[in-house]
Chains A and B, each alone.
Chain A
Amino acid sequence: MRVNPNFTPDILNDLWTSQAEEQTDIEELATGRRVNVPSDDPSAAAADVQNQALQSENDQYLQNTTNLEGVLQTADSTLSSVVTALNQAISLGTQGANGGLSSSQQQAIAQQVEAIQSQVVQSANVSYQGSYIFGGTVTQTPPYALDSAQPDGVTYSGNSGTNTVEIAEGQNMQVNLPGSQIFQGSGGDVMGSLQQLITALQSGNSTSIGTATTQVSNALSYLSQQRVFYGSAVSQLTANQSFLQQEQVSLQAQDNSLVGVDMATAATDLAQAQTAQSAALAAIAQVIPQSLLNYIK
């Protein structure tokens, strides 16, 4: 049977094919990726877009978590100093309620409580990176100012707004309590009770001093309850951080199985392509010089 005497195109085709395979394998090994252009695996490439977005979002959640930790810790430690101050006020109140004190001694105690009051106001006006953290969503002006005309001894210029931040996919966390809730809450009025104690001490009435001290102690326990919010928020963030880090690892693993290359397979493929190419080259070297003319003298 007659066959095509011109085998050059066939052989060249084989060579090109094995060369192209070699190139693909080398590219895969060099980049560590099986999918380098969308046509390598269109659905994996599209899924990779999503995966990269999820990884990047995850990074952002981590960033949010870190940012929030700072402000929440500031709030927590500030409230801790308020607790200390209130405890002082309670012991001063208890001391003031003692019947054996002279009026001037009571006035002196009243001044100490006034100092505590302004210290608490100062704490309530704490700011983090330029934003006041106990003013609700009014963060550009200090929320509290001393104002003896007010029954609570202060004016509150904040609001009752709260903010939430997304700290993981679909997970929103409330990140602040308004000052009005912490310091002037219905369950215990820190500002009001301090003012009440000051007024009682100034008036020298031991009964009302006692009542006011009880009020301060109520306010303290209420404040401690509110403080739990920040404490648990900080620990939630810590837990979230490790969740996000784990999530990152699993997203990377997914990405790798989507578009990553199996090094062993790619290396084997490369070796095979190289073998195919040297076989094709050897065949060319063998075949091309063969001709009847070689045997005719």
Chain B
Amino acid sequence: MGSLSSSMWIASQALDADQGALDATSNNIANQNTPGYSREIPVLTEADPTVEGNVTYGNGVVLQQIQSVRDQVLQLQIADQNQQQGSAQAQYNALQQVQSLFSDPTQGIGADFTAFFNSISQLSTDPSDMADRQSVLTAAQNLVGDFHSTEQNLDSIQSGLNQSVGQTVSQINTLTAQIAQLNVQVGQMEKLGQDPGTLGDQETELIQQLSQLTNVNQIQTENGLTLTTGSGTPLVVAGQSFALQTTSGASGVTDIASQGQDITGSLQGGQLGGTLQIRDTVIPGLLGQLDNLASQFATSFNAAQASGYDLNGNAGQALFSDTSGAGAASNLTVALSDPSLIAASSDGTAGSDGNVSNLLAVQNQALPSGESPLDTYAGFVSLTGNLTSQANAEVTASTSSLTQLNNQLGSVSGVNLDEETTNLMNYQRAYEAAARIVTTVDELTQSVLDMGSGVTAAP
């Protein structure tokens, strides 16, 4: 049987539920611009009915839960794109610096090669001219100087990257420590079937930030998430985070270790992976090629020098010294300071330019590496250009893919003000109506109390 008190109770339940719903709406509006926030919806259900004979009485509404609207699959895809974008962006930033070393065709090693051989060609028109001979030495100095500076610039880009490796690792450690804290709470709530709400949002947001830095595998377990690097090194397990350590490696590079084990080579993806790729693969590769070029060029030129005679009729001495393989680009020096020692002569007379053709031949002859000096240098230009434009294309691709994924996620989890305003009005009206029921029932109760007292209720 229905009763006034049950109506009153239903109305007060409704007021509670509507208040809760208004809270959710208010929280949504408040967090409209909070990064990582997922909108919350009040889950309203009917209360269990009371059955009396043939009549089933509804018992009002229950606010069961305030639920965050999430999409785990999208979150995982976004994390994956984040690590790709982080990696591509880090590579692109570093490669832009690298390619700038090779970007001016009228300067640098390539132009120096040409200027050097031009000075020798000039010498052939007057082999005994000291000014022309001095120009050859000057051009050789310029060439060697640009080998040095290119090598040094690559080194300094590399050490800049090395520094950023250290910084990134400490960012990763901060993030994993924060995630581990949240992970315990979120895991417990989920275990109890509660919605982790904003704690879950915070954890997800931190994981997204972590993905920017390195590739992260997420495994859902009973006790919350387990996070590992792409190759399986644990980062967060339940409430515990495993900090990565940095150690100074052999040649001053920062190595990364986890629990005493070096994992530098296995880290991929994210800002850290991209930085390591450039620091440990691209730049050492370029430096090696630069060393080869310097060494092979200097060796062939020295051989051409040896086949001729200098201005004094002596056999040609080596123009370049310290030409041996590794480090050649930074060690190479011009050994001669006396311009008369350029071996232009083929027969020992001062006026002969017979050996110039041998000296000039080095310009177009293939070095042992397979290409002429200038072609080898042009190879650097196209290599760095290709790497940079590839990284740029990856940045563009992952950015547009991220935009799309974020749009998808936003369409699920984003706060729409119009929607919230509409909800606000709905709950407001519902609250007003429930309050009206309370007033009405109150009046009715008054009437009941007044029954038999001779006082009639107000008409």
Contact surface of A with B, Cβ cutoff 8 Å: 1-6, 9-10, 13, 36-43, 45-53, 56-57, 59-61, 63-64, 67-68, 71, 129-132, 135-140, 159, 161, 163-166, 172, 175, 291-293, 296
Contact = CB atoms under 8 A, between A and B. Distances in A.
Contacts of A165: 121, 124-125, 353
Contacts of A5: 410, 414-419
B333 to A, nearest CB: 24
B354 to A, nearest CB: 7
Nearest to B102: A38
Nearest to B119: A60
A134 B61 CA distance: 119
B86 to A, nearest CB: 17
Nearest to A36: B103
Q: Which of B100, B110, B360, B377 has the most CB of A within 10 A?
A: B110
A129 B126 CA distance: 9
Contacts of B385: 37-42, 45-46
A291 B421 CA distance: 9
A37 B410 contact: no
Given A37-B103, A166-B124, 11 more contacts: A3-B410, A4-B407, A5-B415, A49-B381, A56-B111, A64-B122, A71-B125, A130-B129, A163-B124, A163-B353, A164-B353
Interface of B: 33, 95-96, 99-100, 102-103, 105-106, 110-111, 113-115, 117-118, 121-122, 124-129, 345, 347, 349-354, 357, 360, 374-375, 377-379, 381-386, 388-389, 392, 399, 403, 406-412, 414-419, 421-422, 425
The 10 A-B pairs of least Cβ separation, nearest first, read A38-B385, A139-B351, A4-B410, A42-B385, A39-B388, A137-B352, A5-B416, A46-B382, A60-B118, A39-B389
B414 A4 contact: yes
Contact of A139 (B113, B128, B411, B417): B128
Contact of B129 (A13, A129, A172, A296): A129
Given A64-B124, A68-B125, A46 B422 contact: no
Nearest to B353: A163
Contact of B351 (A59, A163, A164, A291): A163
Contact of A45 (B382, B392, B403): B382
Contacts of B377: 49
Most central of A40, A52, A129 by chain B CB within 10 Å: A52
B168 to A, nearest CB: 24
Nearest to A8: B33
A208 to B, nearest CB: 38
A212 B23 CA distance: 130
Contacts of A291: 417-418, 421
B385 to A, nearest CB: 3
A163 B100 contact: no
Contacts of B392: 39
A63 B122 contact: yes
Nearest to A129: B126
A164 to B, nearest CB: 7
6 contacts: A9-B403, A36-B103, A38-B384, A46-B378, A137-B353, A166-B360
A131 B99 contact: no
A6 B357 CA distance: 70
B18 to A, nearest CB: 19
A236 to B, nearest CB: 15
Contact of B411 (A2, A45, A138): A2
B374 to A, nearest CB: 5
Contacts of A64: 121-122, 124-125
A122 to B, nearest CB: 19
B350 A140 contact: yes
Contacts of B350: 137-140
A67 B132 CA distance: 12
B374 A131 contact: no
Contacts of A166: 121, 124, 357, 360
Q: Which of A38, A166, A172 has the most CB of B within 10 A?
A: A38
B110 A52 contact: yes
Contacts of A68: 125
A236 B421 CA distance: 90
A46 B117 CA distance: 19
A16 B412 CA distance: 26
Contacts of A293: 417, 421
A56 B121 CA distance: 12
Contacts of B106: 52
Given A6-B410, A39-B392, A131 B351 contact: yes
Contact of A42 (B126, B353, B381, B414): B381
A126 B353 CA distance: 19
Given A56-B114, A292-B421, A38 B354 contact: no
Contacts of A53: 110-111, 113-114, 374
A131 B128 contact: yes
A3 B411 contact: yes
A247 B308 CA distance: 32
B394 to A, nearest CB: 12
A7 to B, nearest CB: 8
B418 A37 contact: no
A57 B386 contact: no
A137 B349 CA distance: 6
A13 to B, nearest CB: 6
Contacts of B105: 45, 48-49, 51-52
A52 B111 contact: yes
A136 B411 contact: no
A37 to B, nearest CB: 5
A41 B419 CA distance: 49
A2 B382 contact: no
Give the interface centre of A49, A61, A296 by most chain B CB atoms within 10 Å: A49
A133 B425 CA distance: 106
Contacts of B357: 164, 166, 172
Contacts of B412: 2
Contacts of B129: 129-131
B163 to A, nearest CB: 24
Nearest to B107: A52
A71 B124 CA distance: 13
A193 B272 CA distance: 89
Contacts of B124: 64, 163-166
A296 B421 contact: yes
Nearest to A133: B351
Contacts of B96: 37, 39
A49 B103 contact: no
